[in-house]
Amino acid sequence: MFSLLKIPFFRFGSIVPLALLALLGGCSVMQDVDRGLYQLADQVSETDRVTGERSLSLASRSEQIATGNRVVEQLLAAEKEAGRPVDLALDRVQYQRLIRIFDRVHSVSHLRNERWNAVLIDRDSFNAFTTGGTYIVVHLGLMQQLSDDSEVAAVVAHEIAHTVANHVFEAQSLTQAATLANSGSVKRDGYRAAFTHENEREADRVGILYMALAGYDPMAASRIWQRQYQAEGNRRALFAHSHPVNSEREAETRAVGEKVTAYYQQGRINPEAAALLANNVLWQKRSSEGVAAAGEGGGLQALGSTLLGALVQHEQAKTEERRQQQHAAFVRYVQAQLNLVSDERPASDRWRLRFEYMGEVELASLSLGGQVKQTDGAPATLVAHIKGPIRRGQSFVIELRGDILKPLDNPRQQVQLYLDDALPVQ
């Protein structure tokens, strides 16, 4: 990613710092150099609000707010020009509900001292987003689809966590730095997707802690993704994906939720919330003790920490990119080993299919999807899941169900089948 990161860690992280630190104590020139390094580190990084470590960032918090808010304010201006109401004028009940939930979650976040605005806009889709400033934008469709306040809190907390972790500007900083260093990684779609994928996982972890501290059920996030998996499968298993697939996200958010349940006091803010932000079962924030001052090794330490943090993120993204590529190759392999033996229509809304599996790898589970073209152009998706084990030569039955099947005369010609996902027996 960066040419400096190609220096072996034992050289940069051990021998060079020790030699320079030995000189700093009695050399005014080296002290000036260290102060310069500290200023440089401040210009290209910030202290991570969650971990206390240095993280790459080419924009100060004030610049992040100005840039991020400008995007949302342009959106609001466009909504006004189009005559679309927002907030109270759009839906009083859902807006007041959003504000109530947002205020509780925000009050236990790392950015609780900033004044934020929650905005409700007129969209049917299940979506919410932040742009790195002090706005959170939520679609009306999401509020209407989630009747459980804890599930709304899961989405709100996740979005606040993105800004807390500086994901928007961290990604921009990575791209700028990698471009200057002529890195090949950032040019790959798979790498960029994997980098975002890891940020999404981090936002889930931080957000679920916020939920528990705010008095919302920390298991709610896993319920969202469990429903999504049952309804639509994983969808992205064959392609580079910037978000964890639904089954993985359900499992990971459930595991995080179980870990932080001890902090959950139903309906009320945990009185130890501020302390738990720094020390909890998910992380321990780095203490300022042992951090050297500028001119006393602090500059070298700050710059080294920034570079090391960037290297760790880079390697995590590369690892995730390889994992996705390997899994996609496995799914393609399994798909090639499936033979459709027969099918029948036991009812107008059901299509029962029998497959034979000829692969060498025993399967723990399999999901089959079908897409049906609709008159409006947006395909409807049907998904069915089967538990293994599925062995070579074994036949199995899987059934797709849905009203979208009723008007179809010949599903074999009208439904595009695809292997949604497959997992090997470990």
- The residue that leads in pLDDT, 309 or 326, is 326
With tokens 């907390």, the residue in question is 157
User: pLDDT at position 202, please?
Assistant: 97
User: Which amino acid is it at 156?
Assistant: V
Specify the CATH number for the domain of residue 362. Answer: 2.60.40
Residue 246 makes CB contacts below 8 A (sequence gap 6+) with 225, 228, 229, 232, 233, 234, 235
pLDDT > 90: what percent of the chain?
Answer: 71
Q: How far apart are CA 246 and CA 254, in angstroms?
A: 12
Q: How far apart are CA 45 and CA 173, in angstroms?
A: 9
Mean pLDDT lowest for which of 8-17, 113-122, 178-187, 254-263?
Answer: 8-17
User: pLDDT at position 312, please?
Assistant: 87
Q: How many residues does the chain have?
A: 426
Q: What is the pLDDT of residues 344-366, one digit of tens each?
A: 999 999 999 999 999 999 999 99
User: pLDDT at position 182, please?
Assistant: 61
**Residue 392 and residue 296 share a domain:** no
pLDDT reading at 25 higher than 90: no
Region 119-137 average pLDDT: 97
Structural domain contains residue 43: no
Region 181-204 average pLDDT: 87
Highest mean pLDDT among 1-5, 366-370, 371-375: 366-370
Relative orientation angle of helices 92-106 and 149-164, to the nearest 10 degrees: 50
Q: How far apart are CA 2 and CA 316, in angstroms?
A: 15
**Residue 356 and residue 321 share a domain:** no
User: pLDDT at position 104, please?
Assistant: 98
Number of domains in the chain: 2
User: pLDDT at position 117, please?
Assistant: 98
**Residue 307 and residue 190 share a domain:** yes
Structural domain contains residue 125: no
Q: Which helix (H) or strand (E) holds 389?
A: strand 380-390
Phi, psi dihedral angles at 362 (to 5 degrees): -70, 135
**Residue 158 and residue 78 share a domain:** yes
**Residue 262 and residue 218 share a domain:** yes
pLDDT reading at 372 higher than 60: yes
**Residue 195 and residue 297 share a domain:** yes
**Residue 393 and residue 244 share a domain:** no
Q: What is the pLDDT of residues 228-275, one digit of tens each?
A: 999 999 976 678 899 999 999 999 999 999 999 999 999 999 999 999
Structural domain contains residue 20: no
CA atoms within 13 A on the CB side of 156: 35
β partners of residue 387: 365
β partners of residue 119: 137
Q: How far apart are CA 132 and CA 152, in angstroms?
A: 20
CA-based Rg of the chain, rounded to a whole angstrom? 25
293 and 239 Cβ atoms separated by less than 8 Å:
no
Region 59-70 average pLDDT: 95
Phi, psi dihedral angles at 280 (to 5 degrees): -155, 180
**Residue 206 and residue 315 share a domain:** yes
pLDDT band at residue 290 under the 50/70/90 scheme: low
pTM for this model (two decimals): 0.88
**Residue 359 and residue 293 share a domain:** no
**Residue 255 and residue 169 share a domain:** yes
Whether the CA torsion 298, 307, 68, 205 is positive or negative: it is negative
Domain boundary among 327, 357, 378: 327
pLDDT reading at 331 higher than 60: yes
User: pLDDT at position 289, please?
Assistant: 64
* Structural domain of 347: 337-424
DSSP output for 303-367: HHHHHHHHHHHHHHHHHHHHHHHHHHHHHHHHHHTEEEEEEEEEETTEEEEEEEE--SSPEEEEE
Structural domain contains residue 395: yes
Structural domain contains residue 416: yes
Q: What is the pLDDT of residues 390-417, one digit of tens each?
A: 999 999 999 999 999 999 999 999 999 9
**Residue 321 and residue 235 share a domain:** yes
Q: Closest by alpha carbon to 119, among 92, 140, 137, 100?
A: 137
Q: How many CB atoms lie within 10 A of CB 70?
A: 12
**Residue 252 and residue 301 share a domain:** yes
